[in-house]
Amino acid sequence: MSVNHQLVVTIDGPAGSGKSTVGKALAEKISYVYLDTGALYRAVAYRAHNEKIMPGDGAHLSKLCNEIVISLETRDGGLRIIIDGDDVTDKIRTEEIGLLASRISAVPIVRESLLSIQREVGSAGGIVAEGRDMGTVVFPRADIKFYLVADVIERSRRRYDELIERGESVDFEEIYRGLLVRDEQDSGRSIAPLRAAEDAVIIDTTYRSIDEVVDTMKRIIEERCGNGA
C-alpha cells in the first residue's frame, strides 16, 4: 500500500525525542516534503544573537521579524535555511542557539511572523512537519498527528552523541540541564506551548530504533489514509 500524496503529517515533541531524525526518514520513505520548523526559530534566534537583541526586547525582535527574509531550499536531499542570502543551516545547530530559539519562541510576534511561511509550505499537502505546535496550532486539521516522547537521559545522550559526532566539545551534564530548561520553557509558555494534540498518536522512542519508529508511523499512516495506489 502507498500513501496518498496530499496528506499533512505532523510530529511534535520535546527536544531530543527524535522528531528530526524520524521526520526526515519518514518524509523520504513516503516521498513527502520535510519541514523542520525548529530551524525557522533557530534562524531568527541566530540573527537576534548576531544583532545582540535580547529575548525580552519585543520591539527589536518585532523589527527583526519584519525585515528578515527566510527561504528554504532543498539541496542534496536536505533542507537548507537561507537568511538574507546567507546559508545558516549548519551555524544554527549549536546548543546556545537552541536555547535562545526556545526563549524567543515564547514571544508572540516571533510566532506570528513564522506562521505564514509554515502554512505556505504545508498548503499543498504531501508534507511531514515537525516542531512543538504543529498538531495544535499550525496544522490543527492535519491528517495524522504524532507526538514523540523519550526519557530525558536518553534524549541527552542522543544530543550529546550528535554534537560529539560534529566535532564539538560538549559536557553531558550541561546538555542534560539545557534540555530540562528547554522542556520547561517550551511547555510552560502561554502561547502555543508544547503539548500533544488531543488526536495525536503518542510514541515513546526511548527504547525504539529509528527504523522501528519510522515503520510504525508509516504503518499507521497507511492504515488510516492509504489509498492502495
Residues in touch with ligand DC (CB under 6 A): 15, 37-38, 41-42, 98, 101-102, 105, 131-133, 182, 186
Q: Which amino acid is at 24?
A: K
Minimum gap (Å) between residue 74 Cβ and ligand DC: 18
Alpha-carbon separation of residue 159 from 83, 120, 140, 176 (angstroms): 25, 30, 29, 9
- Distance between CA atoms of residues 10 and 200, nearest Å: 9
Residue 4: all three cell numbers together? 496518498
Comparing CB distances to ligand DC, the nearer of 15 and 83 is 15
- Which CB sits closer to ligand DC, 73 or 223? 73
Sheet (strand 78-83) strand order: 70-75, 78-83, 86-87
Residue 174 neighbours by CB under 8 Å, 6+ apart: 95
For 158, residues 6+ apart whose C-beta sits below 8 A from its C-beta are 16, 18, 150
Complex with ligand DC: residue 3 or 23, whichever CB lies closer:
23
* Shortest spacing between CB 78 and ligand DC, in angstroms: 15
Of 174 and 223, CB closest to ligand DC: 174
Shortest approach of ligand DC to residue 193 CB, angstroms?
9
CA distance 35 to 53: 26
Nearer to ligand DC, 4 or 21 (CB): 21
Q: How far is the CB of 77 from ligand DC (least distance, A)?
A: 19
In the complex, the smallest distance separating the C-beta of residue 219 from ligand DC, rounded to whole angstroms, is: 25
